Amino acid sequence: MQVRERIEKLSEDLTATERKLSTALLLDYPFAGLEPIQDLAKATNTSPPSISRFVTKLGFQGFQEFQRHLIGELKQGQRSPVELQASSAPIHGAFLESFLDRASAVVKGATKAVSEAQFERVSEKLADEKRSIYVIGGRMSDTLAQHLSRHLRQIRAKVFHLPSDPEVWPEYLLRMRARDILFIVDFRRYQNSLSIFAQKAIMARNVQVVLMTDAWLSPISAQASEVLAVPIDSGTLWDSYTGALALLEALLTRIAEENWEQTKGRIEEWDSVRLNFGETEDDQ
């Protein structure tokens, strides 16, 4: 279990000092916990013995073991397919059936990773037409960002998918206004350029960042107003995006059905002006 999960599990049983420590750790997770114990004590106005008691309460033998655990989490967030294959669990029996069973487990895990309350908050933000929505993903995960933006554009206006070329990003940055949403998809082997862009968008334009990431948390999570930390580990060399895709489709369906008359009208208008180059059937 991650340190973050341990803190959340014990949240109702923490003392005032422990709540202060947990807040500091979660605000700059996991890096705050990697500071020397004296520096963490000074930053939180607590004491090294208080920190030692806190990490013991979290289930660690001491502060060193606590830090080793955090370092392990950071390493998990940088594992490549080569490293994942070396520790993957072999698939036995019929490959397709076994693989899809693993994918189903990833999807089921997504229901536990995101609460209904958070799901509704994110749905409302993405549906709010007073906000523009800007969407971007990483090298591989941008396929999910494109899926979200293409469908969301059929529900509402002012949805923009950012291209992968960072040289174009300033154009979109200058369009952003306070309270607009920057939706970022960033899974392990996190993309530093996305983190820098998120910081600039928050500091210069006062946007709100909604981050879809994994259990090891992209560095962007420190600045995000909402973090959707979905499972991606299928026990193979490839991270599985099935849970993330299912969550995105749930958000899109929720927004469309909650605003059906608007959605229906926009799809009809969209279809009335779209170009037809001889296709006989459409995907949607």
Residues in the chain: 284
Q: Are 25 and 96 in contact (CB under 8 A)?
A: no
Same domain? 70 vs 120:
no
Same domain? 188 vs 249:
yes
In the chain, how many H helices and how many E strands? Answer: 13, 5
Q: Where are the alpha helices (DSSP H) in 134-259?
A: 142-152, 169-175, 192-205, 242-258
In a domain, 26, yes or no: yes
Count of structural domains within the chain: 2
Output the pTM of the full model.
Answer: 0.71
In a domain, 157, yes or no: yes
In a domain, 65, yes or no: yes
Per-residue pLDDT reduced to its tens digit, 20-37: 888 888 777 878 888 899
The CATH number of the domain holding residue 34 is 1.10.10.10
In a domain, 91, yes or no: no
Count CB neighbours of 37 within 10 A. 19
Q: Give the Cα separation of 23 and 29 in Å (integer).
A: 10
Helices 242-258 and 95-113: crossing angle in degrees, nearest 10, is 50
Query: What is the enclosing helix (H) or strand (E) of 136?
Result: strand 133-137
- Is residue 175 over pLDDT 90? yes
In a domain, 101, yes or no: no
Q: Give the Cα separation of 34 and 31 in Å (integer).
A: 5
Same domain? 125 vs 241:
yes
Per-residue pLDDT reduced to its tens digit, 146-174: 999 999 999 999 999 999 999 999 999 99
Same domain? 43 vs 168:
no
Q: Give the Cα separation of 15 and 22 in Å (integer).
A: 10
Query: What is the enclosing helix (H) or strand (E) of 9?
Result: helix 3-9
Q: Give the Cα separation of 185 and 142 in Å (integer).
A: 7
- Give the structural domain span for 216: 115-272
The CATH number of the domain holding residue 119 is 3.40.50.10490
In a domain, 154, yes or no: yes
Last residue of a domain, one of 77, 106, 130: 77
In a domain, 94, yes or no: no
Same domain? 169 vs 54:
no
As beta bridge partners, residue 136 has 184
Measured in whole angstroms, the distance separating CA 194 from the mean position of its chain's CA atoms is 12
Q: What number of CA atoms fall less than 13 Å from residue 20's CA on the CB side?
A: 13
Same domain? 147 vs 207:
yes
- Is residue 196 over pLDDT 70? yes
Q: Which two tokens stand for residue 6?
A: 């341990």
Same domain? 22 vs 70:
yes
Last residue of a domain, one of 47, 77, 107: 77
Per-residue pLDDT reduced to its tens digit, 63-119: 998 888 888 877 776 656 655 555 566 777 788 888 888 888 888 888 888 888 899
Q: Which two tokens stand for residue 167?
A: 């040289």
In a domain, 278, yes or no: no
